[in-house]
A and B are shown apart, each in its own frame.
Chain A
Amino acid sequence: MTQQQDILTPHGYHGRYLRIDVGTGRHESIPLPDHVLRSFLGGTGLGVYLMFQERQATVDAFDPAAALAFTFSPLVGSPLTTSAKFAVINRSPLTQQYNDSLASSGFAIAGKNAGWDAIVLTGQAASPSIVIIDDDQIRIENADDVWGLPVSAAEQQLRERLGKRFRCATIGPAGEKLVRFATISHDGRHAGRGGSGAILGAKNLKSIAVAGTQQTPWADAPALHKYSKDLSKRSFGPATAKYRELGTAANMLTFNRLQALPTRNFQRSRFEEAEQLAPETLGNVRNKTRHSCVACTIGCEHVYKLNQDKGNGVRVEYENLFALGSLCEVGNADDVLQASRLCDELGIDTISAGGTIAFAMECVERKLLDQPWLEFGSGTALRRAIEMIGSREGIGDDLAEGSRLLAKKFGPEAETFAPHVKGLEIPGYEPRALQTMALGFAVGTRGADHNRSGGYEADFSDRVDRYRADARSITEAIRSEDQAALMDSLILCKFLRRVFDDFFAESATMLKLVTGWDITTDELQTTAKRIITAKKLFNIRAGWQPADDILPARFLQTHPQNDPDAMLSSEHLRDLVDRYNRSRGWSTDGWIESDSLTSLNLDKLLPTEISD
């Protein structure tokens, strides 16, 4: 690549990011050269690059020097379906490791139109504030009027104050109180996992508002429109019918039948009351509406009315139903929907909330925690616990730390059944019955994660034995991580994935039409590996150890009470992890050797003192 080419900004990008010190109000525009953009694309890929640029691996998430990055992508603003997405990247207050989370809709388009490929916030405001970015005009305003408000009320007030042109990413009271699994919300969607909302709270920021007028051109607009039209048409087909007609909640009965539905803090994998929480039942007894993110032709959001409720209803996802339902053994749909709404309004990740509360319920049962009201099956207890987390009152102050820190407080017995990997609570996939997913959870750079590894896809096929993971599972786990790394960097919605015959080949086409790059499938495979390796390298710099790639003892010593076949030993998992590491080109223990850095060009792309 010539120097001349490198200083030209490719189509689809602005070639710069905005860095704001919210303590001083100082801001600067920092160039993003072509070779960096091509190497990391956008979304989570660009995010991990920025975390290195900002030297975040050893900065505590609540330190004023902590950086919180919002990244966009070349596809944002294009006619490609599901492309209106943004990523939030940070060192997690929950895991102390690399973290990214995604959300959708107007914020992505408005943020990119403001003229930036990414926005990085550092520093700490002296008092509650909002950051307002209006093209190149940056200002920080007082947020006293919205501080303490639940998410939807704060969003409404900010809309009235700033006008409809602005799109806001906002925290709820939980973020203000530094709940370690607080979310950042935008228009009913949440950058949910890993506690990015608490970082915004630590910076005394209620919201970041964006508006702009700077659309990026596309390399081949007519061909892009044609391709986008065809992709939209394909997105109406059977591959996405589940999402359109039932939503992710369709998993409920299927998982229950397969004994893969985590129940009673992973003591069981089948929930007697699953039927009550299934969309097939909910849809029969309540009004339902369907929504979609901006620029999406699928529309997977199913919003159900609460009984005797005049509000807007509750968006129902499988992960909410599992975490606040079966995991806590709450089978009353109204209780679960109310709990879900409470989490959304307080700005709390439902998976971590449900995981931590279910864990605490088991601690009560085992007499490790003296809170007799906090019992499995009680919807009242569930809601009370969520409220206490949001305000950090009483036991809520401990629960707000997440299950890993809570378990440390209760001692070694509790640590065996705290449901997390690297501090991130396990999502709704029983790992002993879905063992490719178990491997994905163990090695996940974000912790237990069903979005950065879709190992469950292989477990739901005849390509692997879901009860006995082997070499095929390792190949599948890597394939799935690579695909997710590319999807999350482009950024496209994962629910589109089955629409593509060859996702890497079509990604090359999309990138060519948008950016003009003559990019190959092989180059994109390397890009995906680079992004995954960079995340792992960040974790190593942040203190990762090989022993962190493990599941809690419960999963390696016992089977779910109802399913004796679902066994996974620690030796077996260790062997899978070792072989996964070698397949990635790392040492058996998972350390990254210099050859890997060189082959992926990370030795040149990342700051020298970090890649050394």
Chain B
Amino acid sequence: MVIRVEFYGIARQRADTATIHVEEDGSSLTLGELLQQIVTQIPELAQDCIANDQLQTGYVANINGQEFISDPRRIIESGQSVLIMSADAGG
């Protein structure tokens, strides 16, 4: 399975890339597992963006640009995009 991960704002600054792809056996994984995979690929995100299987305060995740999610047990299906972005949308 392949999940596309897109970074926005500070997450993109820290990751130093706009997107990565996480490839795994099986047809799905949880948000918590995905976040751990992301940190394995980009250790820089372990500092203030991702801690264990959770996003730190100040960040949110979204599936396909539609639904915001935070539960680490939430299932992500193959082919979905997960967006990591700042939680604060103040302008």
Could you tell me which A residues sit within 8 Å of B by CB distance? 237-239, 241-243, 245-246, 248, 250-251, 253-255, 257-259, 280, 317-319, 322, 427-429, 450, 454, 456-457, 459-462, 465-467, 494-495, 497-498, 565
Contact = CB atoms under 8 A, between A and B. Distances in A.
A496 to B, nearest CB: 10
Contact of B58 (A318, A467, A498): A498
A328 B65 CA distance: 24
A599 B8 CA distance: 46
Contact of B13 (A245, A495, A497): A245
Contacts of B90: 243, 248, 454, 457, 494-495, 497
- When A and B form their complex, which 4 residue pairs have the shortest distance between CB atoms, in order from nearest? A318-B91, A250-B9, A238-B58, A242-B86
B40 interface: no
26 contacts: A238-B57, A241-B58, A241-B86, A242-B86, A243-B90, A248-B90, A250-B8, A253-B8, A254-B8, A254-B9, A254-B85, A257-B8, A258-B83, A280-B12, A280-B13, A322-B91, A429-B91, A450-B91, A457-B88, A457-B90, A459-B89, A460-B60, A460-B89, A461-B70, A462-B68, A498-B58
A497 to B, nearest CB: 8
Contacts of A245: 10, 13
Given A461-B68, A462-B68, A246 B9 contact: yes
B62 interface: yes
B81 to A, nearest CB: 9
Interface string B37-66: 000000000001100000011111010011
Nearest to B68: A462
Contacts of B8: 250, 253-254, 257
A149 B41 CA distance: 56
Main secondary structure of the interface of A (DSSP, over half): helix
A259 B65 contact: yes
Nearest to B59: A238
B10 A461 contact: no
B1 interface: no
B91 A460 contact: no
Interface of B: 6, 8-10, 12-13, 48-49, 56-60, 62, 65-71, 83, 85-91
B83 A461 contact: no
A233 to B, nearest CB: 15
Given A242-B88, A280-B13, A465-B67, 13 more contacts: A237-B48, A239-B88, A241-B48, A245-B10, A245-B13, A254-B85, A319-B91, A459-B89, A460-B68, A460-B89, A462-B69, A498-B57, A498-B58
Contacts of A461: 60, 68, 70, 87
A565 B83 CA distance: 19
Of the listed residues A254, A427, A454, A462, the one surrounded by the most CB atoms of chain B closer than 10 A to its CB is A254
Nearest to B9: A250
A495 B87 CA distance: 12
Contacts of B10: 238, 241-242, 245-246, 250
Given A251-B89, A258-B65, A462 B70 contact: yes
Nearest to B13: A245
Contacts of A242: 9-10, 58, 86, 88
Contacts of A250: 8-10, 86
Given A238-B56, A239-B57, A462-B68, A427 B9 contact: no
Contacts of A319: 91
Of the listed residues A238, A429, A494, the one surrounded by the most CB atoms of chain B closer than 10 A to its CB is A238
Contacts of B88: 239, 242-243, 457, 460, 495, 498
A460 B66 CA distance: 10
A238 B71 CA distance: 20
B91 A248 contact: yes
Contacts of A253: 8-9
A251 B91 contact: yes
